[in-house]
A and B are shown apart, each in its own frame.
Chain A
Amino acid sequence: MAFSTGEVSLEQQRVRAARMFLIPMIIMLFIVAGWPLFRSIYFSFTNTSLTNLSGGEWVGFDNYLNRRELSSGRVVWRGTLVDPNWWNAVWNTIKFSVVSVSLETIFGLIVALVLNAEFKGRGLVRAAILIPWAIPTVVSARMWQWMLNDQFGIINDLFLRLGLISQKIAWTADPDYSMATVIAVDVWKTTPFMALLILAGLQTVPKDIYEAAKIDGINPIKVFWRVTLPLIRPAIMVAVIFRTLDALRIFDLVYLLANNSQTKTMSVISRENLIEFDKFAYGSAQSTLLFCIILVFVSLYIWLGKVDLSGEAGQ
Chain B
Amino acid sequence: MAMLKTIGFYTLVVFIVLVSAFPFYYTIVTSFATGSAIFEVNYIPKSFGLDNYKAVLFDSKAQFPRAFLNSIFISTVTVIGALLLGVTASYALARVQFRGRGLLLMTILAVSMFPQIAVLAGLFEMIRGIGIYNTPWALILSYTIFTLPFTVWVLTTFMRQLPVEIEEAAIIDGATPWQIITQVFMPLLWPALVTTGLLAFIAAWNEFLFALTFISSTEQRTVPVAIAMLSGAQQHEIPWGAIMAASVIVTLPLVILVLIFQRKIVSGLTAGGVKG
Contact = CB atoms under 8 A, between A and B. Distances in A.
A197 B224 contact: no
19 contacts: A18-B92, A21-B92, A25-B152, A119-B13, A132-B23, A135-B255, A136-B205, A196-B266, A200-B274, A238-B275, A239-B274, A252-B209, A274-B117, A302-B110, A308-B275, A309-B102, A309-B106, A311-B101, A311-B105
Interface string A17-41: 1110110111011011101111110
Given A114-B13, A146-B30, A308-B276, A138 B228 contact: yes
B91 A21 contact: yes
B21 to A, nearest CB: 5
Contacts, number: 302
B122 A146 contact: no
Interface in B41-87: 41, 43, 85-86
B121 A280 contact: yes
Contact of A136 (B26, B30, B93, B206): B206
Interface stretch (A120-128, A174-182, A206-214): A120-128
B104 interface: yes
Interface string A46-64: 0000000100000000000
A311 B96 CA distance: 10
Interface stretch (A72-80, A222-230, A241-249): A241-249
A128 B17 contact: yes
Contacts of B218: none
A190 interface: no
Interface in A190-237: 192-193, 196-197, 200-201, 234-235
Q: From DSSP, what is the main secondary structure of chain A's interface residues?
A: helix
A209 B255 CA distance: 37
A141 B227 CA distance: 10
Contacts of A37: 114, 118-119, 122
Nearest to A141: B228
Given A18-B96, A36-B126, A192-B20, A25 B117 contact: no
Interface of A: 10, 13-15, 17-19, 21-22, 24-26, 28-29, 31-33, 35-40, 43, 53, 110-111, 114, 117, 119, 121, 124-139, 141-144, 146-147, 149, 151-154, 157, 188, 192-193, 196-197, 200-201, 234-235, 238-239, 242, 245, 248-249, 251-252, 255-256, 266-267, 270-271, 274-275, 280, 283-284, 287-288, 290-291, 294-295, 298, 301-302, 305-311, 314-315
A201 to B, nearest CB: 7
A193 B266 CA distance: 9
A136 B250 contact: yes
Interface in B206-265: 206, 208-209, 213, 223-225, 227-228, 240, 243-244, 247, 250-251, 254-255, 257-259, 262, 265
Contacts of A24: 85, 88-89
B121 A283 contact: yes
B276 A314 contact: yes
Interface string B114-135: 1111111111111011000000
Given A32-B123, A32-B144, A39-B125, A315 B91 contact: no
B257 to A, nearest CB: 8
Contact of B145 (A32, A124, A309): A32
B227 A43 contact: no
A200 B270 CA distance: 7
B189 interface: no
Contacts of A25: 85-86, 88-89, 148, 152
A289 B225 CA distance: 27
Contacts of B206: 136-138
A101 to B, nearest CB: 14
B77 to A, nearest CB: 14
Given A39-B126, A309-B102, A29 B149 contact: yes
B145 A21 contact: no
A127 B259 contact: yes
A274 B178 contact: no
